[in-house]
Amino acid sequence: APVPVIPNDTLKFDRPLGEGAFGVVYFGTMDTPLRDAPLPVALKTLHAVGASVHQEVEREAATLSSLKHDHIVTFYGVCYDSSPMVMVFEYMEQGDLNNYLREHNEDSGVADYLTAPLSVMDDLQIAVQIAAGMSYLASQHFVHRDLATRNCLVGKNLLVKIGDFGMSRDIYMSDYYTFGCEAMLPVRWMPPESILYRRFTIDSDVWSFGVLLWEIFTGGQQPWYGYSNQEVITKITAGHVLPCPEKCPDDMYVIMKKCWVKNPSERPNMSALHQSILSLTKLDNCIHIGSL
C-alpha cells in the first residue's frame, strides 16, 4: 500500500507525550479536508540522521500502513518535508494500557471518586479487543515480538488498540533484560523457545498474550514481580507459570494456562482465543455472574 504523504503545513505540534531514544512523540493536530475541525494526532518525530533513516522510515511506514484494523492504532502517514521527519498516528487520549490499569484499580491509590475501579467485565472488554487486534495481526502473518499492556493504547470509552511509539525500552526499562550487550528483551513476557533460542513466532505472541491477560486481571502488575530477570529466566525455562490473579474468573485462568503450554504448536491460535474470550463477555457470563 502506498504510504500517504502528509504536507507539513497541515500539522500543528502542541505538547510532548513522551520521549524515546529514537525521538520525541508529541500531541498535535492535523488539518484534513474531510473535517472542518483539525484532527487530534500523535506525532512521532525521528532524529534526522542521514539517508538510512529515510529508508528505515519508508519500510516501517509501509508495514504500518498495511495494517488496518479497529484494534490496531491507525497510522495516517509520513511528513517528509519537516525536519525531523514525522510519522502521524491517531491520538489515543488515555495513554498506554499499563498506566491505565494501574490508575484504575483498587490498590492504585490514585483511584478517586471520578474513576471507579475496573470491573471484571471491563477487564474482559479490554481483553477481547486486544485479542481481536492480535487475531488480525496473526492473519497478516505479522509477529509482534513485544505484546504487553505497555504497548497497547487506550482511547475514549475504554476503546483499546495495539500500538506504541517504540519508547517502551526507555520508559519501562525494568520490563526488559539486556542479555550481555545484546538487545533488550521482555523476558517476563517470553516463552521458553524465545528465551533459549530467540525464536519469535505467532505462537510466541500467543504466550505473550497470555501474560498480557494476567496483567489485565492484576491491574497492571509486573509479571514475576520480586524475582530478578535471571530468576525469571530460570523459572520460565523450568516450566513454571504465573499464578491465578485474585479477581480473575476460573475460565479466564484456564485460557491463560493454554497460552503457556511449553510446546508452541500446542498453544491455541489467536482466532480461537478471541472467540473464547468473546464468549466469556456474552450472555452466558450473565448466568454465571456469581463465578466472576
Ligand X SMILES: Cc1cccn2c(NC(=O)CN3C(=O)CSc4ccccc43)c(-c3ccccc3)nc12
Residues marked active site are found at 146
- With CB under 6 A as the contact rule, the residue among 6, 41, 78, 87 that binds ligand X is 87
Question: Could you report how far apart the first and last alpha carbons of the chain are, in Å?
Answer: 44
| Grid-cell match 525500552, residue found | 169
- With CB under 6 A as the contact rule, the residue among 76, 91, 100, 165 that binds ligand X is 165
Helices 202-217, 120-139: axis angle to 10 degrees equals: 170
CB of 145 to ligand X, least distance (A): 8
Q: Candidates 29-37, 72-80, 212-220, 233-241 — which segment interacts with ligand X by CB under 6 A?
A: 72-80
Give the three cell numbers for residue 21.
Answer: 531514544
Q: Candidates 162-170, 173-181, 200-208, 222-230 — which segment interacts with ligand X by CB under 6 A?
A: 162-170
Q: Determine if 252 is a binding residue for ligand X (CB under 6 A).
A: no
- Compute the C-alpha angle 89/93/98, nearest 5°: 100
- With CB under 6 A as the contact rule, the residue among 30, 44, 172, 249 that binds ligand X is 44
Q: Which is nearer to ligand X, 171 or 244 (CB)?
A: 171
Q: Determine if 216 is a binding residue for ligand X (CB under 6 A).
A: no
Tell me, by CB under 6 A, how many residues bind ligand X: 16
- With CB under 6 A as the contact rule, the residue among 163, 186, 210, 245 that binds ligand X is 163
Give the three cell numbers for residue 154.
Answer: 487506550
Q: Determine if 22 is a binding residue for ligand X (CB under 6 A).
A: yes
Q: What is the footprint of ligand X within residues 102-161 (CB under 6 A)?
A: 144, 146
- With CB under 6 A as the contact rule, the residue among 31, 60, 170, 251 that binds ligand X is 60
3-state secondary structure of 93: coil
Which of 263, 154, 280 lies closest to 206 in space, CA to CA? 263
Q: Which is nearer to ligand X, 31 or 60 (CB)?
A: 60
> Radius of gyration over alpha carbons of the chain, in Å?
20
Alpha helix positions (H), the chain: 50-66, 97-103, 120-139, 168-171, 192-197, 202-217, 229-237, 250-259, 270-281, 283-287
Determine how many CB atoms are found less than 10 A away from the CB of residue 287: 8
Q: Which residues bind ligand X (CB under 6 A)?
A: 22, 44, 60, 64, 67, 72-73, 75, 87, 144, 146, 162-166
